[in-house]
Structure 1
Amino acid sequence: MYENYIKRKLDVAFALVLILIAAPIMIACALLIKCESEGPILFQQTRLGKYNRVFKVIKFRTMRIQTLDAGQELTDRQRITKVGAFLRKTSIDELPQLFNILMGEMSFIGPRPLLPQYLTLYDQNQQRRHEVTSGISGWAQVNGRNAISWDEKFKLDVYYVDHISFIVDFKIFFLTIYQVLRRKDVDHSRVDTMPFFKGEPE
């Protein structure tokens, strides 16, 4: 009842308000991204959401599209632009996901949507993270974010599935704001991309 009705209505209402408020910021980001490097403004990647449904998650592009320099393959860290590094550290790169929320593909709060190829690597318990709508922030993000292992993240995701409620979402929402402002648990993990999940506990 809560997730399908109350939470969905709250998501749509807040997403509409935030899109209007953040519009100048998003326009400025688009201009900066376009001025700094060639390529599209937005980055889209296939992810899995609730009930394993496939969708395209939308973010601001934070990396150069070039993968080679003088014949040498660039690492993800080398490809991140100056603007992109700032967007990642401040989580502004996530703002376009407000449109994913409007389309019903994501929620403000829920397990982060991950790559489809991970699905066959989950154990039975880890797969339960897909019983609820994916979110921009979640219980794992406010309890370590990228500073914890995949195994710990999945345990926190499943904890959220078992305890989803307005009170829990309210707590995660404000903890997210606190951590973004403090840049808590944002070390090199938000500048570098996360290592791929290989199906083994870390």
Structure 2
Amino acid sequence: MYKVFFKRLLDLILSAIGFILLFPVFALIWIVLLFVNKGKPFFLQPRPGKNEKIFNILKFKTMTDKKDENGNLLPDELRVTRFGTFLRKSSLDEIPQLLSIVKGDMSLVGPRPLRVRYLPYYTKEEQIRHTVRPGVTGLAQISGRSNLDWDTRLRKDMEYVQNLSFWLDIKIIFKTALKVIARKDVALDAESGIPDFDTYRKNMLSE
């Protein structure tokens, strides 16, 4: 009953309240990024959602679009702005995702939506992560996200879906809040320090 009805209701209530309370912060960041990122305050990227339906993830833009002499984007570490670093460390770049929750593309809690190009590389068992709405935070994110390898991270996603409940969601929301306050392991969507998932799986297959 919770998974079918009350989870969505909880998402709507909490995300609406959260966005109303954070709207002054949202508006201030939006204005700053209009100048910092030359009129482009938001980052949009296609991601697979529930049942692998593609939607555009919405975040505050933390990197510029600077390119090299050949027209290729510079490495991420050379494009992240000082203000963008602050947004990432404080998780304030995630605020726009509250609108994605209201729209129905995302949930407060669930497996993080990864890149579309990763879809062919999940095992049949791992594909269970796409039977629920992706989340702003999830079990992997409170379990040492930046220290987890891909296999462990995906096992955490599977564990979440298999044990989904109201109390598990509340636990994850509470622990996420503590991590945000402590500014510990809060780069929810970052993949720095580990290879891309498709590259990781290709290397495994070639061994």
TM-score normalised by L of structure 2: 0.89
Could you say what secondary structure the match of 2:108 adopts? strand
The number of aligned residues is 200
Give the equivalent residue in structure 2 for 1:108. Answer: 108
| Offset of residue 73 of structure 1 | 5.3
| Offset of residue 65 of structure 1 | 1.4
Give the equivalent residue in structure 2 for 1:151. Answer: 151
- After TM superposition, list the pairs within 5 Å mapping 1:35-184 onto structure 2: 35-68=35-68, 74-184=74-184
Give the equivalent residue in structure 2 for 1:31. Answer: 31
Give the equivalent residue in structure 1 for 2:18. Answer: 18
Percent sequence identity over matched residues? 38
Of stretches 32-41 and 140-149 in structure 1, the one that deviates more from structure 2 is 32-41
- Give yes or no for contact 1:112–1:135 (8 Å, CA) kept in 2: yes
Structure 2 spans left out of the alignment, 5+ residues:
none
Structure 1 spans left out of the alignment, 5+ residues:
none
Give, as a single letter, the amino acid of the residue that structure 1 aligns with 2:75. Answer: T
Relative to structure 1, the CA distance from residue 72 to residue 56 in structure 2 (aligned partners, 3 Å threshold; closer, same or farther) is: closer
Alignment partners' CA distance in 2, 1:72 and 1:114: 23
| Offset of residue 186 of structure 1 | 4.8
Q: Deviations over 1:127-169 (max 9, x none)?
A: 1111111100000000012221111110000000110000100
Give, as a single letter, the amino acid of the residue that structure 2 aligns with 1:143. Answer: S
Alignment partners' CA distance in 2, 1:173 and 1:6: 16
| Offset of residue 191 of structure 1 | 9.1
| Offset of residue 4 of structure 1 | 2.3
